[in-house]
């Protein structure tokens, strides 16, 4: 027996899959951006202490501005 979905339910399923795909896309873009920023911090680092470098990267991940550099 073939299942027939309610049209409103199929639209809802499509909306949920699009929402999931878009959020995954932006999550990956944010990870790539943060990875590049942290790598830039490591290479152009004026921070001699590794603990301060870690604090700067965590500040960046939380979305706050970097006043350390």
Q: What is the pLDDT of residue 37?
A: 81
36, part of any domain: yes
- Cα end-to-end distance, the chain, whole Å: 66
Reply yes or no on whether the pLDDT at 2 is more than 50.
Answer: no
Total domains in the fold of the chain? 1
Distance, in Å, from the CA atom of 26 to the CA atom of 67, rounded to the nearest integer, reads 26
Q: What is the pLDDT of residue 20?
A: 93
16, part of any domain: yes
Q: Which residue range forms the structural domain that includes residue 30?
A: 11-61
Q: Dump pLDDT digits (tens) for 9-68.
A: 778 888 889 999 999 999 999 889 888 887 887 777 666 677 777 777 777 777 766 554
Q: What is the pLDDT of residue 48?
A: 66
45, part of any domain: yes
Q: What is the pLDDT of residue 68?
A: 46
57, part of any domain: yes
Distance, in Å, from the CA atom of 61 to the CA atom of 20, rounded to the nearest integer, reads 22
Instruction: Name the pTM for this structure.
Output: 0.53
């Amino acid at each position: 027996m073939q299942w027939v979905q309610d049209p409103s339910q199929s639209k809802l399923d499509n909306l949920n899959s699009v929402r999931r795909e878009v959020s995954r896309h932006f999550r990956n873009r944010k990870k790539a951006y943060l990875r590049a920023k942290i790598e830039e911090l490591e290479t152009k680092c004026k921070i001699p202490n590794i603990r301060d470098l870690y604090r700067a990267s965590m500040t960046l991940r939380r979305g706050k501005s970097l006043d350390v550099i």
